[in-house]
Structure 1
């Protein structure tokens, strides 16, 4: 297979997370869109910078995860090392978040914090480039003695991604880049085509090596990523009890699969890396397989929120149509990984379906996880919470699932994943190609990219209108394309004072503009009922409410006193808009006893309609912000008139 050498004919790129060797579209700098601090995403970016980064660092210090590096540097015995074997990766994800944040806007204090942390990590690196605190040192198991669950390559993959962020943010000679390159060279020596025949149980090194190869101009890293991908799927990883080869995506070669399966985060990271490898090696068959897998996974194994992963037992994808609301896992990290996969497919194809799913996932998974103050998080994101739970204590939460955001978890992959996504978010809002600029996600702010200067004024997703003022355009073309979301049936576009014209949903609207032009995009967000596919057993006979890109939910705190969440039945008529949520017609049903000792045996829909009611639904991303609550996204439908008993 012929490998293209990334970046040999392209200009040096700064602060762009994904830079394919060839692509239909190009991403922009993480600082290209300066989001307004009072906008939906601008607020979250500001909180991430001011609170979340420090919060993550404090917890890692408190729990001794950073001290692990210090102890390795001092050659101490680590029989009682703190944290899981993958805790190193959280340090690296935090460094990546800091690197993107510094690329977005310089900050002297953060720069000092970043450099100090990098120095502690660098001191723990072995002479041959290996870097890890859980294996290979005094009192520990040998290196690579547990490829299935040891996470050594996974950890170093996140190290590489942090270094890519630092290099692309204008620091190609930084110490972190030096450390990462030594680690990558070590991996190539240890696991090259003629060396150790193995893969990591948790995919991640593939996407990291591919992007590091691009960023550092090292063809060897891309080749090593390709080698890892080719080895996976042949059942070579030892399988722990209660798991399977599918859990590791080691049951079927990637190019032969028809749908994503197994552990959701592993599968999505692997798929993102596979796209990078396929694009940079010109492997059209692999790309076609990945597009097919994405399409089938979205069509059969993805929740209304964009969440992926329906099984708690293995944090994994269930079978087709296995999408129960109350047992949805929808790990926050899977949402981040889904964005990584979809973004790479978008850059290659330009297909509007990919940014459509990214929008859904951003608003209903990524935005749902952190608390407004950026110091507590959801790990899992169920669509039905039966028990309100208890207020989270200031401690480590041992359970990933629950009805409250927790400040930290025993497995705290999600806080750092949210942090690195928010710090680099602007890079996923806009794309460039030879014809002009494409606005993909709508956020208020100033955009400077590729010779374009635009001012975006909007309260989206809480308002319908996006006003785009064109201040400057490149000399070689001024074609502006606007993504029209697939839900926006009544969308329209107006240029200046001209009458608005309809814009087709699920496509791009093209506008030729010049400096001084004002374009107004209107995306009416009338609430609407959404009905699940009849093949999804877990939510048959229910409906959800969606408003614009926001999935809404019914919370117990919004119900009248004494009304149980289970008693509410939605009347199947269009809801009315209210603030950023909706009001829907409902009936309150009191279930009559069946007379059977088991909770079975009664008549279908046996119950007494006590009264009609109107219920308030709020954006799912805000659930549990007012304290522990019970919640559901899919609400049972009221029986037709005359059917109630």
Structure 2
């Protein structure tokens, strides 16, 4: 039964966890819902595309070099094994939902066999260090990504074990994990790229083998004591500048920091370590208080793919790596489970519908690596580090398979339970089936969310169930069955006799809103953004009259935003603005021409930008001149 498969980050029964996730198959999205279409596109387009690209780009051949099946030179990044493992994880989650997919099962089984053949006699597995640099095995952990790759292998095995597929993959991962425990339990070494910590914690959850969890905790305790060679970017880049329990700010490479945060929470809840959880909450507050873009993207520095200073959030230079959005979603999920606090679910939703959704084209086979909030007129998008349009693959291809593994498991993040209660965190049309205190629960959700804030939930159960409905932070004036919602800690709790079935209607008002930035965000001072519900909107050059340059457009924030639609966008937003072209081409001192010609501005959801034609785009819009 697919509905009995555990999903990602499922704490053990003894864990310090406020909420319990549902089984992976407990939620089924309606095929015509936004999330349902996304998950179907992932299954039929994105995941097969990733499988094909593993061969086309050389990641599979890198492993075949280890087995002697291929003699050609290595291709792509030295850590490209992780692309294989993330795709395997995506395949395992997908097979957990659709077990009859013979082609996908064949990919998983044949790839697991290749990985097993490439594994060394002692359990070691890494194509780069096995063939190209065997003398450096375990000797350059600050850049080697050996434990990072091992972590993704373990995550794939965890998904396979939970889905009941890929037994050989599980065997391979455990052999490697046992070797890692044997070596790293007695030496003071830490990997430069966190990932192994959450992987080992998850492997412990699957196997009950305590040494995996103990080593994960040891890695956390060793970090921050200067054990990693900072080399090019220094210890902050590697989160090795302060002990984990003493940290009070995010620092350095964003994906590394957020993967570390996920591991901190996993270990904290399994070991019931309040000091670790407190540290996680502190660094989260720093990240989301002053270092996160409106779209949920993180990382303002291209040079080292890193967090910037507080309020350093330039829209055109935003790095906003897709993997960082995914890591943010995963870390927030773990914090939500640990604490039950709405703010983590709010951040999950914001990242999901904006930076994560925007990273993939509507064809499911083209992707952004970085996700800016402003693409300038004249931008040189010829380099893959900052392209003008989504690309089918990258030399560092971490993002596409990362997207595939998240979306294939997306139904596992919708709801949770606790004693006597069920909490709805993400809203999508579909059906939920689970048990609460031993009683069967069935919930049918009807909604057009996120386009419409009306959500009808028909609940049937004999349990004395408390249904908790998340009221997003942006939703003012929410109604439950027509009356003002009684919101406590971010959730409206509903208690009924559900035995004959009862329908609850939640209405989340979704007026279009003008959002102003914090005054310390210098890069967007004098600008506003447009949002509606959980969606951030943007302007595209494609919607402007001919001859108008996007950077010359201004918006009048005092005018009402009108809702409309187009064939491909259920809800567009129209604003009044003006075109204020510069008075001359003089670079300095030219000034603006003053109030210009009126123009109608059509905004579309940020996640849909770039699907029509490459061209300029911006989220933060300068305010019209008034004098």
TM tier, shorter chain? Answer: over 0.9
Residue 229 in 1 paired to residue 220 in 2? yes
Residue 34 in 1 paired to residue 37 in 2? no
Task: In structure 1, list runs of 5 or more residues that go unmatched.
Answer: 1-11, 392-396
Residue 551 in 1 paired to residue 536 in 2? yes
SS at match of 1:136: helix
Residue 132 in 1 paired to residue 121 in 2? no
For residue 321 of structure 2, what is the aligned residue in structure 1? 331
Quick one: which of 366, 370, 389 aligns to 1:380?
Answer: 370
Quick one: which of 207, 210, 214 aligns to 1:219?
Answer: 210
For residue 617 of structure 1, what is the aligned residue in structure 2? 603
1:248-296 Cα offsets, whole Å, 9 max, x none, are 1111111111111100000000010011111111211121111111012
Task: Measure the CA separation in 1 of the matches of 2:485 and 2:147.
Answer: 51
Matched ranges for 1:324-403 at <5 A: 324-387=314-377, 399-403=384-388
Task: Measure the CA separation in 1 of the matches of 2:408 and 2:319.
Answer: 25
1:327-348 Cα offsets, whole Å, 9 max, x none, are 0011010011011111111111
Residue 245 in 1 paired to residue 228 in 2? no
For residue 466 of structure 2, what is the aligned residue in structure 1? 479
Give how far 1:237 is off.
Answer: 1.4
1:609-643 Cα offsets, whole Å, 9 max, x none, are 23222210000000000010100000001123xx2
Give how far 1:558 is off.
Answer: 0.4
For residue 155 of structure 1, what is the aligned residue in structure 2? 149
Backbone CA RMSD of aligned residues: 1.9
Farther off after superposition, 570-579 or 266-275: 570-579
Contact 2:326 2:356 in 1 (8 A): yes
Quick one: which of 434, 451, 454 aligns to 1:462?
Answer: 451
Quick one: which of 196, 216, 221 aligns to 1:205?
Answer: 196
For residue 493 of structure 1, what is the aligned residue in structure 2? 480
Task: Measure the CA separation in 1 of the matches of 2:5 and 2:603.
Answer: 42
Quick one: which of 572, 589, 599 aligns to 2:580?
Answer: 589
Task: In structure 2, list runs of 5 or more residues that go unmatched.
Answer: 566-570
Farther off after superposition, 609-618 or 420-429: 609-618
Contact 2:414 2:427 in 1 (8 A): yes
Quick one: which of 169, 172, 180 aligns to 2:173?
Answer: 180
1:384-442 Cα offsets, whole Å, 9 max, x none, are 00147699xxxxx9623222010000011110111001001011111111121111101
TM-score normalized by the length of structure 1: 0.91
Farther off after superposition, 382-391 or 149-158: 382-391
1:116-148 Cα offsets, whole Å, 9 max, x none, are 111111111111111110103376443112211
SS at match of 1:554: strand
Quick one: which of 588, 597, 617 aligns to 1:600?
Answer: 588
For residue 66 of structure 1, what is the aligned residue in structure 2? 60
For residue 418 of structure 2, what is the aligned residue in structure 1? 433
1:451-506 Cα offsets, whole Å, 9 max, x none, are 21111111111122111112x32x44221111011111122111xxxx44345497
Farther off after superposition, 530-539 or 140-149: 140-149
Task: Measure the CA separation in 2 of the matches of 1:414 and 1:286.
Answer: 29
1:497-551 Cα offsets, whole Å, 9 max, x none, are xx44345497101111304211111112111100000001110110000010000
Task: Measure the CA separation in 2 of the matches of 1:160 and 1:551.
Answer: 35
Matched ranges for 1:40-189 at <5 A: 40-74=34-68, 80-106=73-99, 107-137=101-131, 140-171=134-165, 174-189=167-182
Residue 414 in 1 paired to residue 399 in 2? yes
Task: Measure the CA separation in 2 of the matches of 1:420 and 1:388.
Answer: 35
- When the two structures are aligned, how many residues end up with a matched partner? 609
Farther off after superposition, 399-408 or 572-581: 572-581
TM-score normalized by the length of structure 2: 0.94
Task: Measure the CA separation in 2 of the matches of 1:137 and 1:304.
Answer: 44
SS at match of 2:433: strand
Contact 2:477 2:484 in 1 (8 A): no
Contact 2:511 2:533 in 1 (8 A): yes
Task: Measure the CA separation in 2 of the matches of 1:18 and 1:211.
Answer: 7
Task: Measure the CA separation in 2 of the matches of 1:188 and 1:446.
Answer: 42
Return closer, same or farther for 1:101/1:389 CA change in 2, 3 Å cut-off.
farther
Task: Measure the CA separation in 2 of the matches of 1:558 and 1:177.
Answer: 51
Farther off after superposition, 114-123 or 155-164: 114-123
Contact 1:164 1:177 in 2 (8 A): yes
Contact 1:588 1:613 in 2 (8 A): yes
Q: Which structure is higher in helix share?
A: 2
Task: Measure the CA separation in 2 of the matches of 1:100 and 1:519.
Answer: 31
Task: Measure the CA separation in 1 of the matches of 2:60 and 2:602.
Answer: 45
Quick one: which of 532, 552, 567 aligns to 2:552?
Answer: 567
Residue 452 in 1 paired to residue 437 in 2? no
Task: Measure the CA separation in 1 of the matches of 2:132 and 2:339.
Answer: 49
SS at match of 2:136: coil
For residue 568 of structure 2, what is the aligned residue in structure 1? none
